[in-house]
């Protein structure tokens, strides 16, 4: 979960802790973004891993971005920057000194000595919600149990802040966690990235962008800031991306598996017990690569990195060494043994494409597992009018790949219908309304040797069901 970036310049380094929490060091000056380490009940560490904080930047005030804010403020006596709507509720909720909470408006720039911070207007993916919508109990999150938390949650939907950090040495670091705005695109033009990578065009956030074509256009916006001599690195197996190869003024390089017209492609793919092995060909090179993560999607992700690395003239032997040492982080496809079970913990987020990939990985255990393959799936959120069809489709896929299916959430009831019509016996499919009921039934029915996948959108908190199943959290 801890990722230490190589130093960007002698005075700067970035450390990703978990979820949306980063620690940026500029010499002796430390910036913490969205202190939320404790959101995962199974995180192997707590907020004590934060080594220092001179300021805290909050993108928004949803509880899964501020769980450890009080701890950080008390330990390091540091000011907090957040949106002006959220500030009063945040002060009341934390009983904080108002002088320690800076309500920042868009384009406000503050100089803290160790770094300059400019707040940017941004949009949360729930931008379609109105204030009236968010006071409706149907929209309230499970952690909303006080008026102050309700206010923070509501304002977290209604406002969002991104930040541009400028170091004394002139290095600019843009923290961008939201949908693009014209202001952000202008800053990208200032930053002038040399390479822009698009790994796929899925259906995540389709509720807000209307279609996969809309998602494509949103992702292509980054090229409005790429200089003319900059390049794109695209997935050539995605028709939407392949079809724009002649569009625009930027050179594009492609990676793929099926499309051997790509500049870089993979062959001889093997799924081993501990990862993926394949041969990379491109730019005059041919070499074997091992990635210690399961799944065909892993090959695509590695190819994107390899293509960029080769464009940067990084030697193949360096690429091999770095990628072979890769470790998955957070709640992303962590596979481990516990109490006689094989657990696939993939709770960070979920969309149709990633859920299908996770089911493929689970199905891969069938040939070698001593027990059954069980999928525990939560809702896939932000799918708009495609939600019912996609949940139903995932259910049908699960029927062909797993032995048992447990679901949680309103939308995932359609998975049950899909699984049954796909041929899974009804006694092996069940839907639950609470994490507690799901975990209780799973404890009763799971047997040592079973392989169990836990996956769902971030808002479904499937890690809670996992913790209850493993008896790490009281029901």
- 307-355 pLDDT, tens per residue? 999 999 999 999 999 899 887 655 677 888 999 999 999 887 888 988 9
CB 25 within 8 A of CB 47: no
Residue 328 pLDDT: 65
**Cα Rg for the chain, rounded, in angstroms?**
23
Which residue matches tokens 């707590």?
46
Residue 329 pLDDT: 59
List the beta bridge partners of residue 254. 234
Alpha helical stretches, state H, 378-434? 387-401, 413-421
For residue 69 the two structure tokens come to 């804010």
Cα–Cα distance measured from residue 264 to residue 203, given in angstroms and rounded to the nearest whole number: 25
pLDDT tens sequence across 258-314: 999 999 999 999 988 888 999 999 999 999 999 988 888 889 999 999 999 999 999
Exposed / middle / buried, residue 202 (Cβ in 10 Å: 0-12, 13-18, 19+): middle
Which residue matches tokens 């800076």?
102
Cα–Cα distance measured from residue 184 to residue 174, given in angstroms and rounded to the nearest whole number: 9
Cα–Cα distance measured from residue 175 to residue 112, given in angstroms and rounded to the nearest whole number: 17
pTM (two decimals): 0.58
* 234-259: b (≥16 Cβ within 10 Å) or e: bbbbbebbbebeeeeeeebbbbbbee
Q: Which of 36, 65, 64 is nearest to 50 (CA)?
A: 36
Distance from the first to the final alpha carbon of the chain: 26
CB 124 within 8 A of CB 178: yes
Low-confidence ranges of the chain (pLDDT < 50): 1-7, 41-42, 126-146, 148
């Amino acid at each position: 979960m801890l990722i230490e970036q190589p130093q960007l310049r002698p005075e700067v380094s970035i450390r990703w802790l978990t979820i949306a929490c980063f620690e940026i060091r500029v010499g002796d000056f430390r910036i913490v973004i969205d202190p939320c380490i404790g959101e995962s009940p199974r995180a192997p560490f707590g907020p004590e891993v934060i080594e220092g904080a001179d300021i805290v930047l909050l993108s928004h005030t949803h509880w899964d971005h501020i769980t450890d804010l009080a701890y950080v403020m008390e330990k390091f006596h540091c000011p907090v920057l957040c949106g002006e709507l959220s500030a009063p509720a945040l002060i009341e909720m934390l009983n904080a000194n108002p002088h320690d909470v800076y309500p920042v408006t868009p384009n406000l720039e503050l100089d803290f000595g160790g770094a300059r911070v400019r707040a940017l207007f941004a949009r949360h993916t729930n931008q379609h919600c109105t204030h009236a919508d968010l006071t409706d109990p149907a929209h309230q999150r499970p952690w909303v149990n006080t008026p102050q938390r309700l206010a923070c949650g509501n304002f977290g939907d209604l406002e969002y802040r991104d930040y541009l950090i400028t170091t004394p040495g002139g290095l600019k670091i843009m923290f961008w966690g939201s949908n693009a705005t014209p202001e952000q695109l202008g800053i990208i033009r200032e930053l002038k990235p040399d390479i822009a990578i698009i790994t796929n065009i899925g259906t995540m956030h389709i509720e807000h962008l209307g279609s996969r074509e809309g998602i494509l256009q949103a992702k292509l916006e980054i090229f409005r800031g790429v200089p003319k001599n900059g390049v794109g690195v695209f997935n050539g197996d995605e028709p939407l991306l392949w079809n724009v190869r002649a569009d625009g003024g930027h050179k594009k390089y492609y990676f793929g598996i099926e499309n051997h017209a790509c500049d870089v492609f993979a062959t001889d793919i093997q799924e081993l017990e501990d990862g993926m092995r394949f041969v990379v060909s491109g730019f005059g090179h041919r070499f074997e690569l091992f990635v210690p993560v399961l799944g065909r999607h892993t090959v695509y992700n590695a190819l994107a990195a390899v293509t960029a690395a080769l464009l940067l003239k990084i030697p193949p032997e360096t690429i091999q060494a770095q990628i072979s040492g890769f470790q998955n982080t957070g709640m992303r496809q962590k596979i481990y043994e516990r109490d006689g079970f094989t657990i696939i913990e993939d709770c960070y987020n979920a969309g149709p494409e990633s859920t299908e990939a996770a089911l493929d990985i689970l199905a891969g255990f069938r040939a070698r597992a001593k027990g059954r393959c069980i999928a525990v799936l939560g809702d896939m959120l932000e799918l708009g009018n495609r939600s019912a069809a996609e949940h139903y489709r995932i259910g049908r896929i699960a029927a062909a790949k797993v032995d048992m299916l447990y679901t949680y959430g309103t939308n995932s009831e359609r998975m049950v219908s899909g699984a049954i019509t796909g041929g899974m016996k009804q006694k092996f499919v069940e839907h639950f309304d609470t994490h507690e009921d799901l975990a209780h039934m799973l404890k009763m029915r799971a047997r040592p040797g079973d392989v169990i996948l836990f996956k769902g959108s971030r808002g479904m908190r499937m890690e809670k069901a996992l913790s209850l199943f493993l008896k790490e959290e009281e029901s």
